[in-house]
Structures are given as structure tokens and as C-alpha cells.
Structure 1
Amino acid sequence: MKITKGLLQVGVLGLSLLATGVMAAVSESEAAKLGTTLTPMGAEKAGNAAGTIPAWSPLPKNAGTVDDKGFLSNPYASEQPLFVITAQNVDQYKDKLSPGQVAMFKRYPDTFKMKVFPSHRGATVPDDVFAAIKSNATKTNLVAGGNGMENFKVAVPFPIPKSGVEVIWNHITRYRGGSVQRLVTQATPQANGSYNLVYFKDQFVFRDNLKKSADDAKVAAAADEDEKSGDASNILFYFKQEVTAPARLAGGVLLVHETLDQVKEPRQAWVYNAGQRRVRRAPQVSYDGPGTAADGLRTSDNLDMYNGAPDRYDWNLVGKQEMYIASDSYALDDPKIKYADILKAGHINQDLARYELRRVWHVVATLKPGQRHIYAKRDFYIDEDSWQAAVIDHYDGRGQLWRVAEAHSQNYYNVQVPWYTLETLYDLQSGRYLALGMKNEEKQAYNFKFEASASDFAPAALRQSGVR
């Protein structure tokens, strides 16, 4: 794969800074590139020399229509694929694919394909978020060996990254609308294609988007020691996930207070067990602890492609490269499509997937000596325009390629939020996979007008959330 020489040098510089503990924000003159030669989020504004990647052109809020459930129309519905990558011609394109993507063609030579469409770079966020990102560029610093930050605002602390861990922090903190409620499904198809659906109601609110409530102080005062959360200034966001179906799992609730520095203060997590009607601490909801109702197919830190504390890995910034990634996935999110149309044996229905040539940051995470995780190495490919992880290749302790995560993304243009349509995690060894985030058959798409207070995310509130 083609790697930008300058960025290789940047990666070396970043590693040396990390080793010495000096992680400086960029200069005012360098930050001035944001909005000029760079987009306000730090991507290269111009297209590539070949003309196969266009210049950044943010989608307007009226790029399409919104139906009464909140589903967006496809602004590129009339486009046809430029070409299709198959097992027969994949060698022609492997310099723009990850090893995991190439392995999918070998594992499923008769069915796996990539329909490549014209590229569009429409990702954008509100102007006040752009302003916060520019402020971060000159003020935010890494602390505690890269495990935390200081002087961070809202989203994307390092729009001009100098190290691999800074790129990862951009993914972890990227803008997702401030607050959202979503009804989504998860499936873990067997090798023969059979599956059962798990239904979730997720609530997700960044700290600065909490509404004030008169009950907040009362709830905090009434909490017992097992239910108290930590330092509010170290909170990044609050997350609550309720299982609504099937019946055997319904009523279970997970609550997370996500901290910025999880070494200083580990993630605070609780679970409510509907059968026992009891709230308990859940320290296993981190790192390679099992993902909720995932049948062993994902870890806790596989959610959102990757989440949580970065302290168990060494992060090497390889550079930036061109790559085919799943983008503008409006067809896959169409409410006319049924889950049975998406979920097939081995992988999702690739006829519904759309790929585009984009520039991505390549970061290699290697497990530190003495640390434990089921993934000994992870290769991250992160979209330069949105800071979303697009592809992650996972390797086991023997150095064997094990799982391939691929995110199908879209721009929620009506609210200026880039986010995922569907996350997939393919197990190359077992032939099984996980698909998370489908909402095609649900009564509502993402609700970015969702409001909640701190008391709604108190452990005591779990008992009410989980009543069947």
C-alpha cells in the first residue's frame, strides 16, 4: 500500500514524543491550516492527483428528504458502480485494501464482492463543533502517557495528529451529535446463515449535552457507595443500553459512565438483571470483556468499532493511504429493506453495500508486554474526513488474522452528524459474524433531539428502565 512519506516521519516523531512524555499541541501557524489547506476537522481539503478522490464538499442539510420515521433519502441513488471487485480480480486492487478485506475474498470467493462507486466527501459537523476542534488543536495535550487529555473540548482533540494514539483519540471522541436515542438490532449469523435478532434501545449523551434537573442532586445524595460515580470532570459521555427483545433477555440494562482517563479512573459501569431485579457493578464491561448478547463474537471494546482506554497497546502511526471503504451507505439503511435481505451466510448482502475510494489514517496497535487482551494486534484504518474507524483487522496471540471489522457509514446530513449505518465483525476462523446497528424495520431512526439529565443515567434509574 502507498504510504505518505511525510506522515511516516510524523509517526516517528509522535512515538518519540510519547516516549519522552512530552505531547504538545500544534502551533498557531500550523492550526491555521484548518479551514484552508485542511478541512476544519483536519483532512486534506484537496482531492488526489489522479482525480479519483474529490475535494471535500460538505453535504448541505437539505441534501435529501427525511421521512416521518427519520430515515434519510439517498442523495446518490442514481449512481451506478464504476466497477466491482471480486475474488477473480482482487489482486488488481489489493494495494488499496486491508489484509482483512483481501482475506474476505479468499474466505468467500463466490459471494463476497465490493461494488465501487464514485467517491464523495460530504462529512461535516456544526460550526460550533468546528470552532471547538480548532481550539483543541492548539490547547489539548495528552497526559499520563497518552491515556488522558487536558484542555479538551467537545470533539476531535488532535485534528493535526502527530502520533498513533492521537488518531485513536480522535476516533474515540469524534462528534456523534451530542445526544441520541436509537432503536437498533444485533445479529450473530451462524456459518449456515441462521440467526436470531437482539433488539436494543440505546441512549447516548455527551457530558456537555445533559439537561439540568432538580432531581440530580437528590439522586446523587441518595446513592449508596456501590452506586456512586466518579469525577464528573473526567466524564466523556453517558451510555445506557436496554435489551428489549427476545423475551429471555428483555429487561436487562447496561449503564456506562465513560471516563476520559480510564487508567486514573476506570470506566464506571453497572448492569441491571431483570430476573434478579438487582443493580450490580460491571467491571467486566471493558477491554476484552464479552459484548452484550454477542454470543462471544465481540469484545466490549469492539463496540463502535473501538472504544475505551488505549493503555494496553502501543500505537504506531504508519501514515495515510488510499483505500476502498464502505461509505454513503444509504441503500443499506433503506426502511424498505428487511433484515433478512441484509443478513446472509458468511457476510452481509454485499449487493446492498457501497464502497468508495478514500484517504485513511493507518495505525497499528500492538499489545504491550505484560498486558492481556485476546487481540494481540489490531490494524486500524480511519477515515480522514470523519475520524471514524472504517476497517480494523484483528490478530490473535499467534499472529494469525482472526477477525475483520468493517463499518458501513453515512452522513446524517439533516443534523450534520457522520456516523455508522451498520457495524460488522467477521470471524475468519469460524465463518460466523456479528452485525450491529440495523434499524430498517424499527419504528424510528436515530433521534438526535433526545434529552436526558444526569439523574436519568444514575444507577438507581436502571431499575425503572428494566421493568418488563
Structure 2
Amino acid sequence: MNKLTLLLLLAALPLGLLAETKQKPTLSFFGAQLAGNDEGSIPPWRGGIAGPPANYKPGDWHPDPFANDGVLFTIDQSNVTQYRDKLSDGHLAMLARYPDSYHLRVFPSRRSVSYPSDIAEQTLKYQGQARVVDGGAGIAGIVRGIPFPEPKNGEQAIWNMRLSYKGGGYRGYFTTALTAKDGTYELGVSGHEIEYMYGDSRSTLDNLNNIKTRAVMYTLRPAKNAGSIYLYHFLLNSRDEERRNWAYSPGKRRVKRSSMISHDQPMSGSDGIHIWDQGDMWLGPITDFNWTLLGKREMYVPYNAYQLHSGATAVDDIVQPKHLNQDLARYELHRVWVVEARRREGSSHRYQRRRYYLDEDSWRVMFAEHYDEQDEVHRFSEAHHINYYEAKVFYTTLDAYYKLDTERYYLRHVDNDYSPFDFSFDQNASYYIPGRLKMKAKR
């Protein structure tokens, strides 16, 4: 392994977060350009948010570290031509569809993403060992870190997204909001307990057992589904099966293997606005599509969404007719990897083309477009992230799913009514077995 090298520009950074990779000394260990852009509108990466501010208390909503930033400008239908080259087809479609209300407030760019030092160490440890296998269905040779800091193709880039750092797991509640055209909405509430096996410090190549993520979901609302509990094992290699599901029904008081919603099937409770593989912006089998890496672009993306996340912001403040309240959303100029997916021969997926925009610092999807057979944007999904700085996890605080032909949308991960996610939550493997579901129902 090459000796770690500090660039003069970033000499103040922690040694573990700056690395001269085997490819280029101008990149971070996770593959992002360390320098800003020539215009200065994108700053250098200096390690991101180092830790919580003094006014943060564990369990509270996260104070906005950039609360003093002012709006640089607002993009709307009247000036969209000026900014078109840095906007996605999805944002252009939203601006055209809702010219009187949709807009993007652009703030100074803050490269807030940070990582625990051991993620840098593990990425360097496994450097060059990761490989995509089984036609894209799986990945091998790595158990922690960013698999492909310098992706050579679309499959490698989307695997970086799939395995982006999300901590070791979390416990928390979040709300969904299914909206009508007039802005009224129906709430769903569920509790989640999640363990990310990939990325866990205890995982090894020998003990991972093909399980990427274990998750338990408790349904609280709507009332007709309250008391239902679901267990999921998401697999690292989906060649033979995508995941394993179990469900506990309070009416029948028993646990059974549940049917598997997947691919382009509607997500329960979304009235068809959200399809399954839009979860986490991309949750489906990679083998449904052929993936092409289109390169990097500077684009206006949702970022540092602390106002949407705030405990002082109510769901009523967020939901409005046709789209979420854009006066609460923050956009910044960042570099993103653009990855295009085209339906693979033999796939019956409803979308022939999709496009994903991956943040260069976190490998998280910022937004995605889903094109119909006429090659028009039919669905547009957008993720609003913050740095959960007590854990150095860059993760969503709200996901918005728009179905443009119906003028309706669906929100997930809304966390304003409950305490934020607890990233210190930690359980052993026995917590995530089917035999424990009945016990959880009695809690």
C-alpha cells in the first residue's frame, strides 16, 4: 500500500481521511475530488463535519450547522434557462409542471460528509480486491469500505451506492405521507431496527453469510395494519433470491414467510406512487438493467436538509399540494456521478430507462428519474440528506417520490414527529431471526 500523503491544500485534515490511493493523489479515499472547482462555487473537501456542535444533545434533532447561510439565488420557471446545464431532467420536468409553485433555493455549497477513520482504513485495506460477480447480482472480495473508489463502469458505481456507509445500524421511527392533489394526506408510521452487516466492524469475509442487511419493521399506522411486524434479510448476492421475508400477523398471531414484493410492484400504502425498487432511491435487483457510467457533472442537488429535519418543522409544514414545501428544502452545487440504467433484455420492468445521480462524497443517490416508453420523465424521486454528525453518517431525513401524471407524491423517512434515528443501536444476530417476532409483538 502506498504511503499516505497529505496535499498542501488539505494539510489540516486527519491523516486517516486523506490518502494517496494507488490511482491518484488528488482523490479522497472514497474517490471524490479533494479540490473544489475553478469558480470556487464548490469548495475543497476538508473532512466534512468533524463532530456535533456544542448545542447538540444526544436524542435531539440535529441543530443546523449552517443556519447562518443565506440563499444565493432561487431557480424557478422564469430563470430556468440560466441554470439548465446544472439541472436534471427531473427538476426541469417539475419546474415545467408546476411553474407557479415549484422552485429551488440554492445555498452555499458545504461538503459536510464525514467518515469514521476506520472506514478509510478498510477501504484502503480492500483496495483493488472488490469485484462484481454473477452478471451484477453480487459483489465479492470486500466486507467493509467503498468497493470501487474510481469506478470503471455503471455497475461498479451503483454498487458503491448500494454499499455506501450508513453506520452499523439504527433504531427509529419514521412517517410516510400519501398525498392527494389538494394537499391533504394520509399518514403511516412505522418503527425500524436495522443492522448493516456490510460495514459492521464485526463482519468478515468468512462470517458475512451473504447477508447485507437485517431489518425489523413495526407498523403503527394506519390502524388497519397496526401490530404487524416484518423481518427482512437483504442479501449481498441476489442471484438466487433477492431477500428473505417473514411477517407476524396480530390477527393470526403467527409468523410465516411472506410473499416478496419486488422490482416494479407498488409499495404498500403508497397507492401506486412509489414502486418497490425506488426504496432508498434504488433497492432493486441490479440485473434488471444494463448500467452505464456517464461521468461526472456539477449539479444543484438537495443537501444538508436540516430545516426539513428540524423538530420545529411539522409534517403539516412540509406537505402541500403537488410537491413538498420547497421553502424548507436546501439545494447546493455539488459534483455527482451520473449513472444510466436501461432495461435488460428479458426484463419485464415497466421502465425502459432510469437515471441516478450519486453524490461524489457519500455515494448516496441525490435524485433519480424514471422514463416511460415515450422517454418522458414519468416518476422523479429525490432524497434530502443530513450528516448525523454524532455518528458521521450521511443519510436521508426525507425521501420524496413524485408521479408526474397524477400530480401526487409520497414521502418516506419523515422524522419530525419522533426522535431522530439512534445510530448507537446494536443487537446480535439472534435478534433478527423469525422466532423472535412473536416476542417483539408482546413488547
With the length of structure 1 as denominator, give the TM-score of the two structures.
Answer: 0.86
> Which residue of the other structure, out of 145, 150, 160, is the alignment partner of 1:170?
160
> Which residue of the other structure, out of 41, 48, 56, is the alignment partner of 2:37?
48
Q: Distance in 1 between matches of 2:403 and 2:136?
A: 30
Aligned: 1:454 with 2:443: no
> Which residue of the other structure, out of 197, 211, 216, is the alignment partner of 1:207?
197
Checking the alignment, whether the CA contact within 8 Å between 2:337 and 2:359 is kept in structure 1 is yes
Paired amino acid for 2:26: T
Q: Distance in 2 between matches of 1:208 and 1:142?
A: 15
What is residue 210 of structure 2 aligned with on the other side? 234
Checking the alignment, whether the CA contact within 8 Å between 2:144 and 2:200 is kept in structure 1 is no
Checking the alignment, whether the CA contact within 8 Å between 2:50 and 2:389 is kept in structure 1 is yes
The runs of at least 4 aligned residues of structure 1 exceeding 6 Å deviation read 208-212
Checking the alignment, whether the CA contact within 8 Å between 2:139 and 2:236 is kept in structure 1 is yes
Aligned: 1:37 with 2:26: yes
Q: Distance in 1 between matches of 2:63 and 2:299?
A: 26
What pairs up with 1:284-303 in 2 under 5 angstroms? 284-303=260-279
> Which residue of the other structure, out of 407, 411, 420, is the alignment partner of 1:445?
420
What is residue 422 of structure 1 aligned with on the other side? 398
Checking the alignment, whether the CA contact within 8 Å between 1:64 and 1:74 is kept in structure 2 is no
Alignment partner of 1:464: what SS? Answer: helix
Checking the alignment, whether the CA contact within 8 Å between 2:143 and 2:198 is kept in structure 1 is no
What is residue 161 of structure 1 aligned with on the other side? 151
What is residue 183 of structure 2 aligned with on the other side? 193
What is residue 171 of structure 2 aligned with on the other side? 181
CA deviations over 1:357-385 (Å, ceiling 9, x no partner): 00000010011111111222110011000
What is residue 116 of structure 2 aligned with on the other side? 126
CA deviations over 1:125-162 (Å, ceiling 9, x no partner): 10111111223331111111222111112232111111
What is residue 281 of structure 2 aligned with on the other side? 305
What is residue 258 of structure 1 aligned with on the other side? 234
Q: Distance in 2 between matches of 1:56 and 1:112?
A: 31
Q: Distance in 2 between matches of 1:243 and 1:466?
A: 11
What pairs up with 1:337-376 in 2 under 5 angstroms? 337-376=313-352
Aligned: 1:464 with 2:439: yes
Pairwise CA distance, 1:59: 1.1
Alignment partner of 1:78: what SS? Answer: coil
Pairwise CA distance, 1:209: 7.7
Paired amino acid for 2:316: A
1:272 to 1:296, Cα distance in 2 relative to 1, 3 A: farther
What is residue 258 of structure 2 aligned with on the other side? 282
Checking the alignment, whether the CA contact within 8 Å between 1:155 and 1:170 is kept in structure 2 is no
CA deviations over 1:79-133 (Å, ceiling 9, x no partner): 1110000111111111111111101011111111100000011201101111112
Pairwise CA distance, 1:266: 3.0
Pairwise CA distance, 1:33: 4.8
CA RMSD of aligned residues (A): 2.0
Checking the alignment, whether the CA contact within 8 Å between 2:163 and 2:198 is kept in structure 1 is no
Q: Distance in 2 between matches of 1:287 and 1:152?
A: 26
1:155 to 1:374, Cα distance in 2 relative to 1, 3 A: farther
Aligned: 1:152 with 2:142: yes
Pairwise CA distance, 1:346: 0.6
Q: Distance in 1 between matches of 2:165 and 2:432?
A: 20
What is residue 314 of structure 1 aligned with on the other side? 290
Checking the alignment, whether the CA contact within 8 Å between 1:268 and 1:283 is kept in structure 2 is no
Pairwise CA distance, 1:246: 2.6
Pairwise CA distance, 1:203: 1.1
What is residue 113 of structure 1 aligned with on the other side? 103
Alignment partner of 1:101: what SS? Answer: helix
Checking the alignment, whether the CA contact within 8 Å between 1:147 and 1:261 is kept in structure 2 is yes
Q: Distance in 2 between matches of 1:122 and 1:89?
A: 28
Q: Distance in 1 between matches of 2:273 and 2:145?
A: 29
Q: Where does the alignment leave 5 or more consecutive residues of structure 2 unmatched?
A: 1-18
Q: Distance in 1 between matches of 2:51 and 2:28?
A: 18
Q: Distance in 1 between matches of 2:120 and 2:200?
A: 20
CA deviations over 1:206-259 (Å, ceiling 9, x no partner): 2268899xxxxxxxxxxxxxxxxxx95211110111111232121122211111
Q: Distance in 2 between matches of 1:165 and 1:394?
A: 18
Checking the alignment, whether the CA contact within 8 Å between 1:133 and 1:153 is kept in structure 2 is no
What pairs up with 1:218-229 in 2 under 5 angstroms? none
Paired amino acid for 2:326: Q
1:377 to 1:281, Cα distance in 2 relative to 1, 3 A: farther
Q: RCO higher in 1 or 2 (8 Å CA, sep ≥ 6)?
A: 1
Q: How many residues align?
A: 420
Paired amino acid for 2:32: A
Pairwise CA distance, 1:68: 5.2
Name whichever structure is richer in helix by fraction. Answer: 1
What is residue 55 of structure 2 aligned with on the other side? 65
Paired amino acid for 1:184: F
Q: Distance in 2 between matches of 1:150 and 1:309?
A: 16
Paired amino acid for 1:409: H
What is residue 7 of structure 2 aligned with on the other side? none
Paired amino acid for 1:434: Y
Alignment partner of 1:254: what SS? Answer: strand
What is residue 13 of structure 2 aligned with on the other side? none
Paired amino acid for 1:394: H
